[in-house]
A and B are shown apart, each in its own frame.
Chain A
Amino acid sequence: GENVEQHPSTLSVQEGDSAVIKCTYSDSASNYFPWYKQELGKRPQLIIDIRSNVGEKKDQRIAVTLNKTAKHFSLHITETQPEDSAVYFCAALSSYGKLTFGQGTILTVHP
């Protein structure tokens, strides 16, 4: 089955800095890669996603890049703000139609 590795497990940045979270996946047939943000005690919420036929997607301060050859994708957050502090999860949709999640990254943005 699919295996998704996510790094780093924790990330601490100063307000205004950029943050990058990276994920690798194992199933070359995976074709959809969402990113979720989860605030403490809340449910995961989709923040951005990308399909395998696209190399990059941007939505205001967040962007996702995908390298199909290397089987890795990354989340980029620019001009970070304290409200960006949360746990971020990447995921990959495998050929079996199931989402496999990474282990999560705790992002802390210091004012």
Chain B
Amino acid sequence: NAGVTQTPKFRVLKTGQSMTLLCAQDMNHEYMYWYRQDPGMGLRLIHYSVGEGTTAKGEVPDGYNVSRLKKQNFLLGLESAAPSQTSVYFCASSYPPERWGTDTQYFGPGTRLTVL
């Protein structure tokens, strides 16, 4: 049981390049999330998905796109990377919030992205 995994772990991009971050979970969770973490700003929600084929905007969605073609995978895309997108990106998954209490969001190990 791998939990939540993310690939790649590290990446350096040049301004204007594109890339896709992959998140995979094997816990059969309906909900998946993408966060970015910047120093002194906590975790901010980029996009999230409440089920296969559905996505929604979070707090800071600009410059990112997502897709949830399979229940176990959630992809985060940067079409034209900017230095402001330098951050650590965390994926998470969960059951619906009404089931939280003994179970909550499980986070992946993170992807450290640097945009030059």
Contacts and interface: CB of A to CB of B under 8 A. Distances in A.
Interface of A: 1, 6, 9, 32, 34, 42-46, 49, 51, 89, 93, 97-104
Sorted nearest first, the 5 A-B pairs with minimum C-beta distance are A101-B42, A43-B107, A101-B43, A103-B42, A97-B97
A77 B97 CA distance: 26
Interface stretch (B12-20, B61-69, B77-85, B98-106): B98-106
A32 B109 contact: no
A17 to B, nearest CB: 25
B110 to A, nearest CB: 6
Contacts of A44: 43, 90, 107
Secondary structure at chain B's binding surface: helix, strand, loop or mixed?
A: loop
A86 B19 CA distance: 31
Interface in B5-61: 33, 40-45, 48, 50, 58-59
25 contacts: A1-B59, A6-B42, A32-B100, A34-B104, A42-B109, A43-B107, A43-B108, A43-B109, A44-B90, A44-B107, A46-B104, A46-B105, A49-B104, A51-B101, A89-B42, A93-B97, A93-B100, A97-B96, A98-B45, A99-B45, A99-B105, A100-B45, A101-B44, A104-B40, A104-B42
A6 B104 CA distance: 21
Interface of B: 33, 40-45, 48, 50, 58-59, 90, 96-97, 100-101, 104-105, 107-110
Nearest to B109: A43
Contact of A45 (B44, B48, B107): B107
B102 to A, nearest CB: 9
A99 B108 CA distance: 16
Contacts of A49: 100-101, 104
Contacts of B50: 97
Contacts of B97: 32, 93, 97
A32 B105 CA distance: 12
B92 to A, nearest CB: 8
A43 B105 CA distance: 11
